[in-house]
Amino acid sequence: MTIFQAPKGTYDLIPPDSAKYLAVREAIAAPLRNSGYGYVETPGFENVELFARGVGESTDIVTKEMYAFETKGGDRLALRPEGTASVLRAALEASLHKSGNLPVKLWYSGSYYRYERPQKGRYRHFSQVGAEAIGAEDPALDTELIVLADQAYRSLGLSGFRILLNSLGDKECRPVYREALQGFLRGLDLDEDTRHRAGVNPLRVLDDKRESVRKQLVGAPLLRDHLCDACKAYHEEVRELLTAAGVPFEDDEKLVRGLDYYTRTTFEFVHDGLGSQSAVGGGGRYDGLSEMIGGPALPSVGWALGVDRTVLALEAEGIELRLPASTSVFAVPLGEEARRALFAVVTGLRRAGVAADLCYGGKGLKSAMKSAHRSGARYALVAGERDLAEGVVQLKDMESGEQVPVALGSAVEELGARLV
């Protein structure tokens, strides 16, 4: 019988690599938890209309990449292609914005799905950690999120990333720019799909990665030249706060991001060691998204950082994370009586917070010690009938090879002291 394989464009996370992904998620989440962000978890699928309205009907995500399906009951659902719309929907449904304590700060972690051409760094199933601050319009809030992402990456030892920053204006000044850009695009040699995209949301064309399109965009009007005074002042405040916080950034007037809901501040974290798929994360302000999905006016800002891309960035910089040992003590029982005795010791070690495991299956000494070495344990506990008759177990240092007897009743305390 053929063994089933993971669907094309997806992957399994298995030990020992999975420990690295867990460490990356924890490193990204840690500064968020220390800054007032509470954890939120949403379903893996939502109503199709949530993403059509929120992400944008002109985006590739909605038109080409979203996994959409109809249930037996006739509901049109989609696997979530991104996190912001779902988190905002959850916050609105729970009326978190009515608590009187704005902004509502939330962070999340999970898998997301897009039908894309699989390649290194771009999968059909991918993992993200994200953060959203809902219900406040403040340059300091935008800056806070950028600083927290920068802090997370630096805590992992990353240094080869860059922060790209731009402003997309607001409902006052973006229509003026939109008209100027559409006028410019009408003079280009574009295919029918791109012309349609230019009619719905011309900023989407600026995000086109095809060289044939990018060459024609040289000389396109810049949004920064069309920002209203309020947006200019807002953006300058973000820049000044980032500079004061010691977080370097680069102005990128063509940075658009792939979602329609962004306004004002937009940013991207890129790592040049990843080749064409250089973005490791990004986000921005989305002041009108709440109204788009049926909620009240709630100016908000957020980001999502790719766990997969972050792991690739670590590999590109040759960074090996210091991961806690999955097993510190490996117990090797020789005989039925020893199995019972060492099972009790292992249970006591685990209750004391020591990572411990037991050799199962009645293996002989040679085979069991091979398992001990493979486990990566610092110490092995070995016991046979003679040891138990003397009330001891053999404690072996797996690094030095030194072996000493310790009293069975004090094995937990002895190992706890050695592993401090």
Binding-site residues from annotation for L-histidine: 82-84, 114, 128, 132, 257, 261-262
Concatenate the DSSP letters of all residues of 338-373 into one string. Answer: HHHHHHHHHHHHHHTT--EEE--S---HHHHHHHHH
Known binding-site residue numbers:
82-84, 114, 128, 132, 257, 261-262
- CA 161, CA 247: separation in Å to the nearest integer? 12
Q: 163 forms bridges with which residues in the sheet? A: 269
- CA 18, CA 26: separation in Å to the nearest integer? 12
Q: Among 107, 231, 124, 121, which Cα is nearest to 176's?
A: 231
**Three-class SS of residue 61?**
helix
- CA 152, CA 321: separation in Å to the nearest integer? 14
Q: Return the structure tokens found at 239.
A: 């820049």
- CA 31, CA 35: separation in Å to the nearest integer? 6
Concatenate the DSSP letters of all residues of 2-21 into one string. Answer: PPP-PPTT-----TTHHHHH
Whether the Cβ atoms of residue 242 and residue 147 lie closer than 8 Å to each other: yes
Residue 152 sits at the vertex; the CA angle it makes with 249 and 156, to the nearest 5 degrees, is 110
Residue 183 sits at the vertex; the CA angle it makes with 182 and 189, to the nearest 5 degrees, is 85
Residue environment code for 18-50, b if the CB has 16+ CB neighbours within 10 A, otherwise e:
eebeebbbebbbebbeebebeebebeebbebeb
Residue 82 sits at the vertex; the CA angle it makes with 237 and 196, to the nearest 5 degrees, is 85
Q: How many residues does the chain have?
A: 420
Q: Residue holding tokens 């977080």?
A: 247
- CA 353, CA 404: separation in Å to the nearest integer? 23
Helix (H) or strand (E) holding 157: none
- CA 124, CA 113: separation in Å to the nearest integer? 5
End-to-end CA distance of the chain: 49
